[in-house]
Amino acid sequence: MCGAVRYEVDAPLELAGYCHCTRCQRRTGGSASVSARVAPGSFRIGRGEQDVKVFRPDDGFAKAFCSLCGSALYSQNPDKPEIITVRMGTFDTDPGIRPAYRQYVAYAAAWEPLPDDDLPRHPERRPQ
């Protein structure tokens, strides 16, 4: 949001989707987060790495954010650090991919019904 952190993705994104878990709701302040998985080795921070802070929950992916403005940037698998998902709202241009699924819909916010978008819905985590 503030521009202090800049990243690059130098390969096509692999997959994108919505997460409706309560952690994503609380992290974003919305009903879901939408992220895109990058190809292993294709993500790098070009500027502002010192401004990136990470929240590491006991279970789940680490959540990286800008320490200056609080903007959510990406998540990283703690067991397989090459697995990174970038928050789609942080792209400067069209990322060339669209969300293809909804996961953790069993926890979807009651105040915002899921849209009729024909995307596959998974009550828990999307099968790998």
Answer whether residue 29 is part of any domain.
yes
Percent of the chain at pLDDT exceeding 90: 96
CB contact burial 31-53 (16+ within 10 A = b; e otherwise): bbbbbbbbeeeebebeebeebbe
Burial class, 72, CB count within 10 angstroms (exposed 0-12 / middle 13-18 / buried 19+): buried
Number of domains observed in the structure of the chain: 1
pLDDT at 93: 94
In a domain, 37, yes or no: yes
pLDDT greater than 90 at residue 60:
no
**What pLDDT digit, counting tens, does each position of 24-52 carry?**
999 999 999 999 999 999 999 999 999 99
pLDDT for residue 82: 95
In a domain, 123, yes or no: no
| pTM for this prediction | 0.92
Q: Decide: helix, strand or coil at residue 88.
A: helix
Give the residue-averaged pLDDT of 15-23.
96
Query: Per the structure block, which two tokens stand in for 40?
Result: 């292993």
Which two tokens mark 48? 């502002």
pLDDT band for position 95 (cuts 50, 70, 90): very high
Query: Could you give the CA distance from residue 91 to residue 126 in angstroms, rounded to a whole number?
Result: 23
Does residue 121 lie in a domain region?
no
User: Structural domain of residue 96, as residue ranges?
Assistant: 6-112
pLDDT given at position 86: 98
**Is residue 126 a part of any domain in this protein?**
no
The answer as to whether 118 is a domain residue is no
Q: Tell me the CATH number at 31.
A: 3.90.1590.10
